[in-house]
Amino acid sequence: MGVQKLPLAKAINESLRTALDTDPKVLIMGEDVGKLGGVFRVTDGLQKDFGEDRVIDTPLAESGIVGTAIGLALRGYRPVVEIQFDGFVFPAYDQIVTQLAKMHARALGKIKMPVVIRIPYGGGIGAVEHHSESPEALFAHVAGLKVVSPSNSSDAYWMMQQAIQSDDPVIFFEPKRRYWDKSEVDTESIPAPLHKARVAREGTDLTLVAYGPMVKVCLEAAAAAAEEGKSLEVVDLRSMSPIDFDAVQASVEKTRRLVVVHEAPVFLGTGAEIAARITERCFYHLEAPVLRVGGFHAPYPPARLEEEYLPGLDRVLDTVDRSLAY
């Protein structure tokens, strides 16, 4: 395919196509993933080209989808399952937490669980309840799982390739409101390791850490801050389990200030973990406490309020100012 500008959803589609093409053990499973191509068309055309035996429309039962994927993995398959929306993953949470995450350890390493669970997540598309949530911390908290989220098309393509190749279960959070954002994908490049963070923009005064849908917001915030003479570094975390603390530490040792941004509620979230770790690692480098911007400890609001609820440019910059004021 070479170098191409693709929407993020199409990059994932291409990645799934490559995986189906190169490994006969790869399966796609989920609700409406067949003829419809998924509600976001991420699996568009795959069933037509690879057949119903490999691109499988499932009954509407999330626990069943993940539970049978576990069985297929035991049989030697590499299932890539789609959970239609973030808020629908919870019927499968039991299978993910009590079975999928622990199986390798319980078998003393004798069996592997190469299952990818794709979850379109986050808000910003004006959806109804249960369609806009960011539950990544609930998965990152579970040993045995790996949790990642791409912010751009190139990462979407390559991180999906790497997730499918992983012998561990990977929860793959797809930033649904960025599905239509186009950026360059080079299918012949050599990708960075799956769990390495990436410096998306260099700066000297403060570090913004974000992932998935919030990377774009942080880059915009950094551009706006630059006009005011502030130099913000943006680190795209890419992986929430494991977290590349070395990359965050390197950035903070340079900028001495850190703000973590995510859509998920800040309470006990990814930002809380980063704040604790970075405070421990960089205590003498920090000029200000690590601050967080994110969701509130309240249910995700109705769509008419989500523009205010979601961390935007102004809330990020407001927190940047608070940090710089120390």
Partner 1 sequence: MTVESTAARTPRRSTTSGGKRASAKKAAPKKSTEPQLVQLLTPEGKRVKNAEYDSYVAGITADDLRALYRDMVLTRRFDAEATSLQRQGELGLWASLLGQEAAQIGSGRATRDDDYVFPTYREHGVAWCRGVDPTNLLGMFRGVNNGGWDPNSNNFHLYTIVIGSQTLHATGYAMGVAKDGADSAVIAYFGDGASSQGDVAEAFTFSAVYNAPVVFFCQNNQWAISEPTEKQTRVPLYQRAQGFGFPGVRVDGNDVLAVLAVTKWALERARSGEGPALIEAFTYRMGAHTTSDDPTKYRNDDEREAWEAKDPILRLRTYLESEGHADEGFFAELDAESEALGKRVREVVRAMPDPDLMAIFENAYADGHALVDEERAQFAAYQASFADEGGK
Does residue 64 touch partner 1 according to CB under 8 A?
yes
- Rule CB under 8 A: is residue 301 a binding residue for partner 1? no
- Taking contact as CB under 8 A, which single stretch among the options 51-59, 117-125, 219-227, 304-312 is the one that binds partner 1? 51-59
Q: Is 67 in the site for partner 1 (CB under 8 A)?
A: yes
Q: From the list 144, 175, 213, 295, which residue makes contact with partner 1 (rule: CB under 8 A)?
A: 144
Restricted to residues 68-127, the positions that interact with partner 1 (CB under 8 A) are 68-77, 91, 94-95, 98-99, 102-113
If one asks whether residue 51 binds partner 1 (CB under 8 A), the answer comes out as: no
Please provide residue 255's backbone torsions phi and psi, each rounded to the nearest 5 degrees: -90, -25
Q: Which is nearer to partner 1, 19 or 221 (CB)?
A: 19
Cα dihedral 119→297→307→175 (10° resolution): -20
Query: Locate tokens 């599905």: which residue?
Result: 179
**3-state DSSP assignment of residue 263:** strand
197 binds partner 1 (CB under 8 A): no
Binding of residue 244 to partner 1 (CB under 8 A): yes
Indicate the residue among 242 and 302 with the shorter CB distance to partner 1.
242
Among 45, 126, 242, 302, binds partner 1 (CB under 8 A): 242
Active site amino acids: 131
191 near partner 1, rule: CB under 8 A: no
Enumerate residues 6+ apart whose C-beta is below 8 A from 255: 203, 204, 205, 206, 207, 233
CA distance 214 to 310: 9
- Inter-CA distances, 134 with 119, 212, 284, Å: 10, 10, 33
CB of 167 to partner 1, least distance (A): 4
Q: Please report the beta strands in 46-191, taking only residues with DSSP state E, as ranges in sequence order.
A: 55-57, 78-82, 116-121, 146-148, 170-175, 182-186
Other Cβ atoms closer than 10 A to 250: 16
Q: Which residues bind partner 1 (CB under 8 A)?
A: 53, 58-59, 61, 63-64, 66-77, 91, 94-95, 98-99, 102-113, 143-144, 146, 166-168, 195, 241-245
